[in-house]
Amino acid sequence: MIVNFTPHVVHTPTTAIPSTGVARVEMTRVIVGEVEGVPITRSASGAVSGLPAQEAGIFLIVSRIVAAALPERRDLLFPDELLRDAAGRVVGCTSFGSVAGLPKAEQTQ
C-alpha cells in the first residue's frame, strides 16, 4: 500500500494517489556570506512533522527533503523521473526514488 504525504495528488502512469496529509522538515538557516547584498545561507534539516510511524507493508510518498532527513526510514518514497506539461509544470512521475532502499521483503526482481 502507498500513502501520499505530499500536498499534491501524485500521478503515475498507472494511478493517481491523493494526499492524505503533509510531512514537513523544519529547516534552520545560517548566513555564511553575502553576494551583491544578497545573503548566502547554509541550511540544515531539523525535526520532521506530519509522518506516522513506520508500518510493515506501507510506503509513504514524501518530498525528497523529508526522505533525506530520515535516511533510516526504508518506507519513504519520493516522486522521481518527473513528467512535465508544455509549460514545464510537474504533472506526474514515472518512478519513485528512495534514499535508504527498500526492505528486503519488499524488493521485487
Residue pLDDT, tens place only, 33-50 = 999 999 999 999 899 999
Strand pairing class (2-4; 59-61): parallel
pLDDT of amino acid 101: 78
Average pLDDT of the chain to the nearest whole number: 93
Query: By the 8 A CB rule, do 3 and 23 touch?
Result: no
* Whether pTM exceeds 0.95: no
Query: By the 8 A CB rule, do 9 and 20 touch?
Result: no
Pull the grid cell for residue 10.
501524485
Q: Which DSSP string do the residues of 1-38 spell out, in sequence order?
A: -EEE-SSSPEE-SS-EE-B----EEEEEEEEEEEETTE
User: Would the pLDDT of 103 be above 70?
Assistant: no
